[in-house]
Amino acid sequence: MANNKGKAFEQKFKLDFQQSFPEGTIDRIYDVSSGYKTISNIADFIAYNYPNMFYLECKSHLGNTFPLANLTQYDKLKDKVGIKGVRVGVILWFIDHDTVCYVPLNSITQMKTDGKKSINIKMLSDNSYKIIQIPSEKKRVFLDSNYSVLAELQEGD
């Protein structure tokens, strides 16, 4: 994956999230990817739409599987799970499949417990883990996505 496509996806996600939740707010956490390996953020975005706060990490990936090892923020995100009204997860764009999904951190924790090493695109249809496909429409490169489905998340999602 070219770095510029991933960064552009983050910008597109922020725009789509704002359009999905016009009464909400979303902030991009300062990106420290410029070589400071000892510094890492909890997530790419912190957002709020009454009554939920979101900690969201954006990932884009070519191919069918996203390696869980690439989720370097896992331990920091895990600290936010279980707080009432807080939703923690990964916005994952499977580039080759024109698919965007939300993976709750609890699902990733269960995958790790089950010995899984990656999130496979097939997991969207086999219902083995809670993964929410984001309604999206393909444009030239990116997708226009409607994140309003995240308003229906329950505690633990």
**In one letter, which amino acid is 134?**
I
pLDDT at 147 over 80: yes
Q: Using one digit for the tens of pLDDT, what is the confidence trace for 59-88?
A: 999 999 999 999 999 999 999 999 999 999
Mean residue pLDDT of the chain comes to 91
Strands laid side by side in the 132-133 sheet: 25-28, 45-49, 52-61, 86-94, 99-104, 132-133
Dihedrals φ, ψ of 71, to 5°? -90, 75
Answer for the pair 26, 17: CB distance below 8 angstroms, yes or no. Answer: yes
- DSSP for residue 124: H
User: For residue 33, what pLDDT is reported?
Assistant: 58
Higher pLDDT, 13 or 126: 13
In the chain, % of residues over pLDDT 90 = 80
Residues, the chain = 157
